[in-house]
Amino acid sequence: MSEKDLVLDLQNLNVKFVTEESTVYAINGLNMQLERGKAIGLVGETGAGKTTTALSLLKLVQTPPGVVECDKMMLNGKDMLTLSEKELEAARGKDVSMIFQDPMTALNPVFTVGEQIAESVFLHENCTKEEANQRAIEMLELVGIPGERAGEFPHQFSGGMKQRVVIAIALACHPQLLIADEPTTALDVTIQAQVLDMMKNLREQYQTSLIMITHDLGIVAEICDEVAVMYAGTIVEKGTLEDVFNHTKHPYTEGLFNSLPNINDRKAKLTPIKGLMPDPSNLPEGCAFHPRCPYATEACKKPQTLRQISDTHYVVCDRYNDPDFRIEREER
């Protein structure tokens, strides 16, 4: 894949938080590439490092205590590791934008929603304040909110409408890459469907690349082209929807699918993944998932290698090609 086809090229990202008590290893050797115009779903349990990855791309990890190390972080042709603070401010919102997790706290309560959208436009576009205000009204109407409500404050909007405002802010300058951090978590299912449908249409309209951070595999199936499964700060399996959903290889990914309700058998019991996420300040040796893995052997306590199964499918597990491993999975 040539450089010009990539909106994001991230290699060997490591993030740790150093305190007097301990060192928390949040991200460990993470690699990710995203083609222009494509959408990837970043899936994993709470504490897997999904949001920290997103904040690292925006250079928003608080330092100290955070320490970010990376071999390569190219975003829309720009080396994010070498940009000055002023250049980073210009890139945020224009090259890359983020929909933050909680719309209730993402908006400033003392400014109108129109002012908050217009501020981003005025900072990044060569326009007057009047033109920025007009763009803010257009963006509100684009996300399904009447333009005359631009002069209202966040507390005058419902949770779903606040989320729409946050999306309007993120898309106001037509970024090349949009990071959506669980944008539908606080919404009811009806509003959730509307927001996802709107994001899908807007992405197609502006040819925006998307990183969708979520726990919900159903959302990934609805809106994404690729899936990256995260565990303990690294991607353990990555591929197209077809690869990961229909040809699951990593035991952790298998556990995520097994823990979903069976709509064809409502009496069937859920099969949760046993145990908890490991302490990031004291990660297990080798595969971080092996203490919870039903297929683990002594070999899993050694460093695992990234294996390419097909042109698009990758897995970090040394056992997936073991005949005994296949028999165990079939028996289960």
Give the DSSP per-residue string, 226-259: EEEEEETTEEEEEEEHIIIIIS--SHHHHHHHHT
Residue 318 CA to residue 228 CA, distance in Å, equals 18
Distance of CA 40 to the CA centre of its chain: 8
In this structure, the number of other CB atoms found within 10 A of the CB of residue 269 comes to 8
Residue linked to tokens 């955070």:
66
The pLDDT of residue 2 is 45
Distance of CA 210 to the CA centre of its chain: 8
For residues 307 and 320, the answer to whether their CB atoms sit within 8 Å is yes
**Contact residues for 36 (Cβ-Cβ < 8 A; gap 6+):** 5, 6, 7, 176, 207, 209
The pLDDT of residue 1 is 43
Of 222, 284, 233, 277, the closest CA to residue 255 belongs to: 277
Name the β-bridge partners of 136.
none
Residues of the chain with pLDDT under 50: 1-3
The pLDDT of residue 34 is 93
Residue 122 CA to residue 317 CA, distance in Å, equals 48
Where does residue 59 fall: left (phi above 0), alpha (psi -120 to 50 degrees), or beta otherwise? left
Domain ranges in the chain are 3-95+175-331
The pLDDT of residue 326 is 56
Q: Which CATH class is domain 3-95+175-331?
A: alpha beta
For residues 142 and 199, the answer to whether their CB atoms sit within 8 Å is no
Residue 226 CA to residue 247 CA, distance in Å, equals 13
> Burial code of 172-193, b = ≥16 C-beta within 10 A, e = fewer?
bbebbbbbbbbbbebbeeebbe
For residues 236 and 67, the answer to whether their CB atoms sit within 8 Å is no
Rounded to 10 degrees, what is the CA torsion of 140, 208, 34, 85?
-60
In this structure, the number of other CB atoms found within 10 A of the CB of residue 4 comes to 7
The pLDDT of residue 237 is 95
The pLDDT of residue 329 is 59
The pLDDT of residue 332 is 57
Residue linked to tokens 């993402």:
106
Of 142, 137, 98, the closest CA to residue 114 belongs to: 137
The pLDDT of residue 130 is 92
**Contact residues for 215 (Cβ-Cβ < 8 A; gap 6+):** 43, 44, 45, 46, 182, 185
For residues 163 and 186, the answer to whether their CB atoms sit within 8 Å is yes
The pLDDT of residue 191 is 72
For residues 173 and 93, the answer to whether their CB atoms sit within 8 Å is yes
